[in-house]
Amino acid sequence: MNLIDYIVLFGYFVLITVFGIWISRRIRSSDGYFRGERKFKWWIMVGQAFGVGTHAEMPVAQTGATFGHGFATIWYQWKNMLITPFYWLIAPYYRRSERTTVGEIVEDRYGRTMGIIYSVFAIMFFIFSMGVMLQGAAKVISVASGNLISPGMVVFFMTIAFLLYSFIGGIVAAAYTDFVQSFLIILLSVMLIPLGLKEISGFSGMREVLPEHFFDLINVDSGINAFTIAMLALNGIVGITAQPHMVTMCATGDTERAGRIGQTFGSLVKRLITIGWALTGLVVAALVVKKNVTLPDQEMAFGYACHELLFPGLVGLMLAAIVSANMSSCSNFMTNIGALFTQNFYKKYLNPDATDIQLLWMGRFSGLGLSILAVLFALSVKNVLHAFLFTETLAAFMGIMFLGGFLWKRANRYGAISAVISSFTIYYILNYINTGQIMLVYRWEPAPFGLAMLTGFFFLWLISIITKPEEKEKIEEFFDNMRRKSDAQYTENDGKKPLSEKTGDDLLLLDLPGWLTKERWRGFFRRYREDLAGFFLSWLVVGLLIFIAWAIMQIN
């Protein structure tokens, strides 16, 4: 790094912080701080979903995996590719709940105890996730700077940076800065490719020195096969529903459609740039062969490429892009972790009579305090990819009871807690048998995960069937909310919002056993046209992205 790099990096910090504080001037209430008063346009929702869903550890992990095992490892990041169209179907759940946190939704569905259990998990999820993000960025920046900056120093300064505007502006500052920073993340994803291809004589030079299987879209040599992809997809679809920031991802838009577009197509933008991360891994794999260099850790591949390929000015720009990838996520998570503590603990148990201004400040200070724990976890993370998959797996086990509660009206709290306990227990038992070691973070393997998920769903069904159901009136109220348009501008004579079937916004996945009744099939295409149209369009985009990746790998 030289003077111009420091100017670029420092200038980024100043500009994004000033912008975040400036946009925060409108925050006057706890709802504005936690949900932005549900006024974000669709393009802000796209930028938010993309920015929050894309972390600095992801290009680190993906580039490293591809560097070591070939392009087919893209499915570690593409694990949600085949289930992204389902985001279109589930996004309205969160807005129709009319809640601020996922913990409150769980409480509405299963009762107060389950709400507490979920909220504790959610806080831990944020701490783990933020820690992984910070360590991922630290690895890249440390190597890219020629080890002039220690990972611990990177973690410290990044934490200070995102706390500055998040403390003041909450989700409003997070969403708007996410949109701005998304352009830097895209730049991060493609910047190294043309420079690297020039160094290795293009695709032909890359093919000369790398094994042929490195260019496959799927193969056994990479450790990725059809079963692994299926388990990764299962991890994704179940886990995404229970991730504790889903209310801000899906329910802060000014309409239900804004939430659908944001979560679905913001995620698909991420799938597109993942191709850039994987291609960077191939470039670095060829580069180290040509330069006769050995990297002690494959996750140093991205940082090594930055160090070798970037010239003055671009180094600072790359570091700013890496920082932006983390700040966009951490600022959102800080707001969410504050909302969880405030809504699910402080407001319910510590100060039920709290004023709105007290809730606002508690959200700020609790988010600040709990974010510091993420820094401590970050310093203990060794392997970014395994830690990333660990946090996703935790969410998947919690997602059994969350998703099951929407798909099956008969699911109850006893089945829910049994599903969580049994899946976690089987997962750790199987991994202990495989490794002979007791660990918090195991290397992710598809077989233990698949058996744990199967066990969890089985216990959700079995225990729910043999125990008493949830209170009928409470469950009917919960599902009635899910059948009504949350963004309707008028109410019916009974004071409720109109049924979504009248506007073509009924939800396909709501209470799946209902599909066995004749009533559910009446006016099918009219009632479900929003779900059907968006679902079909999303699959077209998924197919296009897979084709693009395949076509790039055919370049000779």
- CA atoms 461, 464, 469, 474: torsion sign: negative
Residues 6 or more apart whose CB falls under 8 angstroms from that of 139 comprise 57, 60, 151, 299, 300, 303, 384
Output the DSSP codes for 505-544: ---TTTTGGGGGSGGGGTTHHHHTHHHHHHHHHHHHHHHH
β-bridge partners, 219: 224
Q: How far apart are CA 191 and CA 283, in angstroms?
A: 12
* Tokens 């992710």 found at: 444
Close Cβ partners of 314 (under 8 Å, ≥ 6 residues apart): 191
- Work out the number of other CB atoms within 10 angstroms of the CB of residue 403: 23
What per-residue confidence (pLDDT) applies to 18? 86
What single string gives the DSSP state of each residue in 457-483?
HHHHHHHHHHSPPPPHHHHHHHHHHHT
Supply angle C-alpha 539, 544, 546, rounded to 5: 95
Cα(218)–Cα(307) distance, rounded to whole angstroms?
30
- Can you tell me which residue has the tokens 């790998």? 553
Length of the chain: 556
User: Do 220 and 303 form a contact (C-beta atoms < 8 A)?
Assistant: no
Please name which of 420, 148, 81, 103 lies closest in space to residue 303, comparing C-alpha atoms: 148
CB count within 10 Å of CB 44 equals 22
Task: Classify 3-407+532-553 by CATH class.
Answer: mainly alpha
484: β partners: 499
Signed CA dihedral, 387, 166, 261, 252: sign only? positive
| pTM score | 0.89
HSE (side-chain half, CA atoms, 13 Å) at 228: 18
What pLDDT score was predicted for residue 162? 76
Per-residue pLDDT, 186: 87
Which residues are CB-neighbours of 494 under 8 A, at least 6 positions away? none
For 219, the token pair is 């193969």
CA 323 – CA 138 distance, rounded (Å): 9
Give the residue from 134, 103, 514, 158 showing the smallest Cα distance to 345. Answer: 103
Is 75 within 8 Å of 271 (Cβ atoms)?
no
Write down the residue that tokens 């060829």 correspond to: 286
Where do the domains of the chain lie? 3-407+532-553
418 touches 400 (CB < 8 A)? no
The per-residue pLDDT string of the chain (556 residues; one tens digit each, 9 = 90 and over) reads: 788 888 888 888 888 888 888 888 878 899 999 999 999 999 999 999 998 888 777 888 899 999 999 999 998 888 789 899 999 999 999 999 999 999 999 999 999 999 999 999 898 888 877 877 776 666 667 666 666 666 666 667 777 777 778 888 888 988 888 888 888 888 888 889 999 999 999 999 999 999 998 999 988 776 777 888 888 888 888 989 999 999 999 999 999 999 999 999 999 999 999 999 999 999 999 999 999 988 888 878 888 888 888 888 888 888 888 777 777 788 888 899 999 999 999 999 999 999 999 999 999 999 888 887 777 766 665 555 555 567 777 888 999 999 999 999 999 999 999 999 999 999 999 999 988 888 777 777 889 989 999 999 999 999 999 999 999 999 999 999 999 999 988 888 878 899 999 999 999 999 999 888 888 898 999 999 999 999 999 999 999 999 999 999 999 8
User: Residue 216: helix, strand or coil by DSSP?
Assistant: coil
DSSP class of 441: S
DSSP state of 286: H
Residue 224, classed as helix, strand or coil, is strand
3-state class percentages of the chain: helix first, strand second, coil last, to nearest 5: 80, 0, 20
Who contacts 487 (Cβ-Cβ below 8 Å, separation ≥6)?
95, 254, 255, 256
CB 512 within 8 A of CB 407: yes
Question: Which amino acid is residue 297, in one-letter code?
Answer: D
| Cβ-based neighbours of 171, under 8 Å, separated by 6 or more | 33, 34, 35, 36, 248, 252, 332, 335
What is the reported pLDDT for 418?
97
CA 404, CA 495: separation in Å to the nearest integer? 30
For residue 298, give the 3-state DSSP assignment.
helix
Q: What is the 3-state secondary structure (H, E, C) of 220-245?
A: CCCCECHHHHHHHHHHHHHHHHHCCC
